[in-house]
Amino acid sequence: MIIVTGAAGFIGSCLVGQLNRLGFKDIVLVDDFSKPGKENNYNNKTFTATVDRSSFIQWIPENHRFIQFIFHLGARTDTTEFDVTIFDELNLGYSKQVWNRCVEFGIPLVYASSAATYGSGEHGYDDDHERIGLLKPLNPYGESKNDFDRWALTQERKPYFWAGLKLFNVYGPNEFHKGRMASVIFHAFNQIRDTGRMKLFRSHNPGYKEGEQLRDFISVHDVTDAMTFLMNHRKNSGIYNLGTGHARTFNDLVRYTIDAMNLPQKIEYIDTPEDIRDKYQYFTEAKMGKLRSIGYIKKFTPLEQGIHDYVKNYLLPQRYF
Q: Which residues are catalytic?
A: 141, 178
Neighbours of 267 (CB within 10 A): 17
DSSP letter string, 298-317: PPPPPHHHHHHHHIIIIITT
Q: Which residues pair with 248 in a beta bridge?
A: 215
Burial class (CB in 10 A: 0-12, 13-18, 19+), 239: buried
Burial class (CB in 10 A: 0-12, 13-18, 19+), 293: exposed
CA 262 to chain centre: 29
Q: How far is CA 203 from CA 3, 119, 250, in A?
A: 42, 18, 11
* Phi and psi torsions of 258, nearest 5°: -65, -40
Contact 28, 196 (CB under 8 A): no
What SS3 state is found at 166? strand
Contact 145, 91 (CB under 8 A): yes
